[in-house]
Structure 1
Amino acid sequence: MKALIIEDEYPAAERLTKMIQKTDSNIEVLAVLESIEAAKRWFSSHEAPDLIFSDIQLSDGLSFVIFDEIPINSPIIFTTSYDEYAIKAFKVKSIDYLLKPIKPQELSAAIEKYRALTGANARQDYGHKIQSLLDILPSAGRKYKNRFLVKQHEQFVPIHRHEIAYFFTANEMVCLICNDNRQFLIDYTLEELEKMLDPSHFFRLNRQFIAALSAVKKIHSYFNGKLKLDLHPEPLHEIVVSREKAPSFKEWIEG
């Protein structure tokens, strides 16, 4: 079986690839695509895979755009941190909808569902699947902050969660750093942000930094069990995770 992964967060893509191969070593992951534009380019020059694993919120928009604009007959397993797109997902050939962090048994069950549907050439009962999905989705999940309204000169600009690399504090001020290195002062403390941000995407590294998963590029062993991190964009200060926080940080990275 040939599979394709559409995922804009490298650690999440790497973890999913390993989980897929561990679940079934006969599955070949053809590529990992990190954006809508990358997916469009890939499909323009490749045959459709047997199965697609796709995140929904990508750096340049919702992945539904890909399937709206390109005729793709491959079944899709959506992987996301949010349950709000569940109904729409089943309108674009989705056979399952896995909430992050993905559990191995859930991934295995989704792959088995694919085999059952394709092996028997079964018709997909969308009404039944939607109801089944609604039964397993959390009825009341905590809502995390997905956008920040920041001031830029004399205007206010909305910054989406996917645009944020990290937050840091200096001289009692907190700065939001975007993936493209834009910087904005915001009126929240890091302690307040910790409660507002989705912990599957953001981690409090130390007293000065909260980073997005996508901003972590390299992890180095440091003395006394600490970790030193390379973030993008590169910060002005050295980023060190304490020995006490190191285990929970590694667990966060692994999902």
Structure 2
Amino acid sequence: MNILLLEDEYPAAERLQRLLTQAAPEAQVLAVLDTVSSALAWLAANPAPDLILSDIQLADGLSLEIWEQAVVPSPVIFTTAFDAYAIRAFQANSVAYLLKPVKLAELQAALAKLRQWGDLRVKSEEVRGNSVATSALNSIEHLLDALPRPGRPYKTRFLVRQGEQLLPLPVAEAAWFLSRNETVTLVATDGRRFVLDYTLEQLESLLDPAQFFRLNRQVIAQLPAVRRLHPHFNGKLLVELHPAAPEEVLVSREKAPAVKAWLEG
């Protein structure tokens, strides 16, 4: 197994290589790179490795930028101190998302999943070669698509940054979310604000729809944060939130009945 290691901290790179000698003695680390730019250059000049083992934060940016700028077919095991990038990571051929410090048992489990993924891909190719029914092929491909996805139905907490610290914030303490200039901010019930690495579309799929509702393109609110509804022009609704929003939060005439039904339960 040929592995490309992306890590900008020397001790962490050394530790991962030691763990690999125990978890996969046959593995060969082809290169250890610490920047997005060097990784893109290496991938452009070399055959795709069997696996990429990558930290999220590299010396010149997020490693996720690699998959946004280039087509990289290799499966990836991400290692990071943050869980805020998990959704984007699973869109980049991710087999596993391991929080630092990486434990041997977790790395072994991730490599086992990788081997299972590879076995399924082989079976899928055999099905294609034998011209088996399309439904059988589709069932294998659907299983492959499902392997990297997180299993929890709804998110229960966010890991947010406060100064130099990372704090677990229960979802119940999130009053509303605002998207502005491609940045999503979580506004807590006590007025604190935290920048998240999610889009509102991603949050819609992660949050319990009984508790959270997308009021418009910019705002998702939790039920207790909605204090009042005020009739507005052309059948729209003006939503009064707590903590207060920096600008008017309007619900379209088309969505107004759904908001009322959500509030009534």
* TM-score grouping bracket, smaller chain normalisation: 0.5 to 0.7
Q: Deviations over 1:67-87 (max 9, x none)?
A: 111211000011000000011
**1:88-127 maps to which residues of 2 (within 5 A)?**
88-121=88-121, 123=141, 126=145
Bigger RCO (CA 8 Å, 6+ sep)? 1
**Structure 1 residue matching 2:150: 3-state secondary structure:** helix
Q: 1:129 to 1:67 in 2, by over 3 A?
A: closer
Alignment pair present for 1:145 and 2:163: yes
Instruction: Provide the rounded CA distance (Å) in 1 between the counterparts of 2:156 and 2:2.
Output: 31
**1:1-255 maps to which residues of 2 (within 5 A)?**
1-121=1-121, 123=141, 126=145, 129-132=148-151, 139=157, 141=159, 143-146=161-164
Unaligned runs of 5+ in 2: 122-139, 166-265
- The aligned amino acid for 1:30 is L
Unaligned runs of 5+ in 1: 148-255
Instruction: Provide the rounded CA distance (Å) in 2 between the counterparts of 1:84 and 1:94.
Output: 15
C-alpha RMSD over aligned residues:
2.4
Q: 1:67 to 1:141 in 2, by over 3 A?
A: closer
**Structure 1 residue matching 2:82: 3-state secondary structure:** coil
Q: 1:116 to 1:48 in 2, by over 3 A?
A: same
Q: Number of residues paired by the alignment?
A: 146
- The aligned amino acid for 2:163 is K
Deviation at 1:142, TM superposition (A): 6.9
**Structure 2 residue matching 1:26: 3-state secondary structure:** coil
**Structure 2 residue matching 1:44: 3-state secondary structure:** helix
Query: Does structure 1 conserve the Cα–Cα contact (< 8 Å) formed by 2:55 and 2:63?
Result: yes
Larger Rg: 2
- Which residue matches 1:191? none
- The aligned amino acid for 1:81 is A
Q: 1:52 to 1:133 in 2, by over 3 A?
A: farther
- The aligned amino acid for 1:130 is R
Instruction: Provide the rounded CA distance (Å) in 2 between the counterparts of 1:146 and 1:117.
Output: 38
Query: Does structure 2 conserve the Cα–Cα contact (< 8 Å) formed by 1:19 and 1:104?
Result: yes
- The aligned amino acid for 1:48 is A
| TM-score, normalised by the number of residues in structure 1 | 0.52
| TM-score, normalised by the number of residues in structure 2 | 0.50
Q: 1:99 to 1:20 in 2, by over 3 A?
A: same
Q: Identity rate of aligned residues, in percent?
A: 40
**Structure 2 residue matching 1:47: 3-state secondary structure:** coil
Deviation at 1:131, TM superposition (A): 2.9
Deviation at 1:128, TM superposition (A): 6.3
